[in-house]
Structure 1
Amino acid sequence: MSEVLLKYLPEHAVPLCFELIRANHVHLKIVNERLTRHGDYRRDAQGFHLITVNAGQNKYRFLITLIHEIAHLVAFEKYGRHIKPHGDEWKLTFQRLMVPFIRPEIFPQQLLPLIARHFRNPKASSDTDATLALALKQFDPENDKNYVFEIPYGSVFRIHNGKIFKKIALRTKRIECLEVATGKVYLFNPNAEVELLPN
């Protein structure tokens, strides 16, 4: 298991992660990239703890995602199944589990202050923290994608399903985009990855 984890995690995080997986009886499955999530946790009918994490992520996002999902398991075990999935109990558990990893042997120096800030009040997804998401992106495999918040207003872009949009306005936390083919307006997460097209 440690050899497998070494392919996906920073080297110095492997022993800590292996111990968390072992101690919590996690069945970890590393899966192909999914567009809608980085990972998930569920308990099956036999009571096994199943965690999936996307394989295509960089090692730092993989680590954050793995600990995020283990935090669900630990929080549900400690506080019961009635808690909110990303409520206070989960946040407290996620913070506590992440503390041993927030050090320079595991994360690059430029990520440490951003991660420390994020974990003061962790969100349901690290993608909703624009500063951290952008910093993590520099460690992703090379691709031709941009975040919606990075591209100028009036830019035209394509999403994963081939639909084409134009960036038109900022709302409080979302970005308003016009679907070119239909004229309908949609709200995008600022960190949605898109393919910028020539205007």
Structure 2
Amino acid sequence: MGLKKVDNAKLMERVFSQYIPRPFVAYLVDLYSSVNVSLIIKNPRKTKFGDFKPLKKSGWSQITINNNLNEYGFLITALHEFAHLLVYEKYKNKVHPHGSEWKKVFKKLLLPILEANKLPEDIQKPLLTSISNIKSSTCYNYDLYKAILSRDEPNNLCFLEKIENGEQFQFNGLTFVRGNIRRTRFLCTELETKNKFLFHGLAKVKAL
């Protein structure tokens, strides 16, 4: 269930001021208030940071974003989903969701953020490098994803990549042993069942 629904510029400014870095608030407000879109801030979802869908009966669109993202994760997700909206308005469902049309629009939306030169260097650099070949998810840009996740509030978790092979860790209440890396993912064994799973190196786990 949505926590906040935003349908006008004044409320959008209030929400974006809470969730993204201040230098970019005006830019996001201008974008989101230029179209008929409802912005809904939702409780965390495990499978996505945000999403877009057209509300065909009303003629509006809906964008949802998870409320647990840090300010840079929220910023990039908001632009990612807004790119989907613009592509849908032009092409409807005639193009691939993360095809060349979406990449072109997302790149155009990111350029003012990059040109402002107000992002932290460890976020600015990988984002700038990836602009020529934008991925469908931030997760697929390892350096960018790591820089964003590193700004989450401190807790007792760590990145899986920081754990040595053969060491145990907990994830979602289960205990695993870290194995060798396969490209960007680690092959890990769940202790009780001996089943094997691939984990992203930036999965947040509890070291044992």
Q: TM-score, normalised by structure 1?
A: 0.90
Alpha-carbon deviation of 1:92?
Answer: 1.2
- 5 Å-filtered alignment, 1:96-115, equals 96-104=108-116, 106-115=118-127
Q: Does 1:156 align with 2:168?
A: yes
Structure 2 CA distance for aligned equivalents of residues 30 and 112 of structure 1:
25
Give the C-alpha shift of residue 95 in structure 1.
0.6
Partners of 2:61 and 2:140 lie apart in 1 by 26
* Structure 1 stretches lacking a partner, 5+ long: none
8 A Cα contact 1:11 1:106, kept in partner: no
Match of 1:132 in 2: 144
Q: Say if 2:49 is the partner of 1:38.
A: yes
Structure 2 Cα separation of the partners of residues 128 and 149 of structure 1: 15
Q: 1:123 aligns with which of 135, 138, 158?
A: 135
Equivalent residues in 2 for 1:1-199, closer than 5 Å: 1=11, 2-46=13-57, 47-104=59-116, 106-160=118-172, 162-197=173-208
Letter in 2 for 1:152: E
CA distance in 2, matches of 1:114, 1:132: 5
Deviation at 1:13, TM superposition (A): 0.8
Deviation at 1:71, TM superposition (A): 0.8
Structure 2 unaligned spans of 5+ = 1-10
Distance 1:175 1:24 in 2: 43
Please, which moves more after superposition, 188-197 or 61-70? 188-197
Alpha-carbon distance between aligned partners in 1 of 2:162 and 2:34, rounded to the nearest angstrom: 41
Deviates more, 1:15-24 or 1:72-81: 72-81
Instruction: Tell me: CA distance 1:180–1:112, structure 2 relative to 1, closer, same or farther (3 Å).
Output: same
| TM superposition shift of 1:17 | 0.5
Residue deviations 1:141-166 (CA, integer Å, cap 9, x gap) = 11222222332211211113x12211
In the aligned structure 2, how far is the partner of 1:119 from the partner of 1:102?
10
Aligned length, in residue pairs: 196
* Distance in 1 between residues matched to 2:86 and 2:120, nearest whole Å: 27
> CA separation in 2, counterparts of 1:147 and 1:189?
9
Matched-pair identity in %: 32
Secondary structure at 1:23 match in 2: coil
Which amino acid in structure 2 is aligned with residue 57 of structure 1? Answer: L
SS of the residue aligned with 1:158? strand
Aligned residues: CA RMSD:
1.7
Instruction: Describe the SS at the equivalent of 1:102.
Output: helix
Verify the 8 A CA contact 2:107 2:134 in the aligned structure 1.
Answer: yes
Q: For the structure 1 residues 126 and 113, does the alpha-carbon distance in structure 2 shift closer, same or farther, using more than 3 Å as the test?
A: same
Contact 2:122 2:144 in 1 (8 A): no
